[in-house]
A = this chain, B = another copy of it.
Amino acid sequence: MTDAIEKTPHHHGNLRAALIESGVSILIEDGLSKLTLRRCAARAGVSHAAPAHHFNGVAGLRAAISEEGFRIFRNYMLDARNNAGSNAHERLKAICRGYIYFAIDNPALFELAFSIKVIGDLQTKPETDTVAVGYDVLRETCAPFVPENGDPFIVESQVWSLIHGYATLQLTGRFGGTTPEHPCGPGFDQVISLLDHLPVLRGT
């Protein structure tokens, strides 16, 4: 094949990465219920027990795929924010749009990522990536609304709760479908307008 470009360091080359990639594809094509160790193995062209040498059971595989999902998720928010103006409220709504776009584009990946229980405490260690890669984007974008010497977690948790609740309720079909006019669903602007009340306390 193209082994001339990169040599194969092991038997397969890099099976761990290949299994994660297979898992993401299965997630997109067949949904969360079809994401199994054996299917990932078959798709990657290895035996059914090969993944055991790279992940700690099916939970480990799901966690690894979830991490990959969070990275994609973070890019969605960054892209949306980059396409917004410099206004603090516009930037905040932009990452919310990115949040919903990711959930709608990758529902199974979103469901997987947020179905995994977190061990640590986010308020204690907000910088921990295992909790949620992409939290830094939320923190940055919420900063203009945090009082001087105030606790940033207050605004962050308000925004996160609102947008995450909308995303999950939208994804489970409780807020109506999406249309070209309303790619985030018909209720998105109305729900997100609750954040208009947040006062800008720190200059751009």
Residues of chain A whose beta carbon lies under 8 Å from any beta carbon of chain B: 114-124, 131-132, 153-154, 157-158, 160-169, 172-177, 186-187, 190-191, 193-194, 197
| A193 cross-chain contacts in B, Cβ below 8 A | 158
Contact A121 B191 (CB under 8 A): no
Instruction: Establish whether residues A114 and B186, one from each chain, have CB atoms under 8 Å apart when the complex forms.
Output: no
A177 engages B114 (CB within 8 Å): no
Q: Contacting A174 at CB < 8 Å: which of B122, B167, B176, B194?
A: B122
Contacts beyond the supplied A154-B187, A158-B190: 7 A-B pairs with Cβ under 8 Å: A115-B172, A118-B172, A121-B177, A157-B169, A157-B175, A158-B191, A161-B191
Given contacts A187-B157, A190-B157, contact A168 B114 (CB under 8 A): yes
Interfacial chain B residues near A166, Cβ < 8 Å: 157, 161, 165
A167 CA to B169 CA in the complex, in Å?
12
Q: Which single residue of chain B is at the shortest CB-CB distance from A171? A: B117
Which chain B residues lie closer than 8 Å to A124 at the CB level?
176
Q: Which of B116, B154, B176 has a CB less than 8 Å from the CB of A190?
A: B154
A162 and B162 contacting across the interface, CB-CB below 8 Å = yes
Nearest-CB residue, chain B, relative to A162: B162
* Complex contacts, A194 vs chain B, CB 8 Å: 158, 162, 194, 197
Given A122-B175, A174-B122, A177-B121, are A161 and B169 also a contact pair (CB < 8 Å)?
yes
Residues of chain B within 8 A (CB-CB) of A114 are: 168, 172
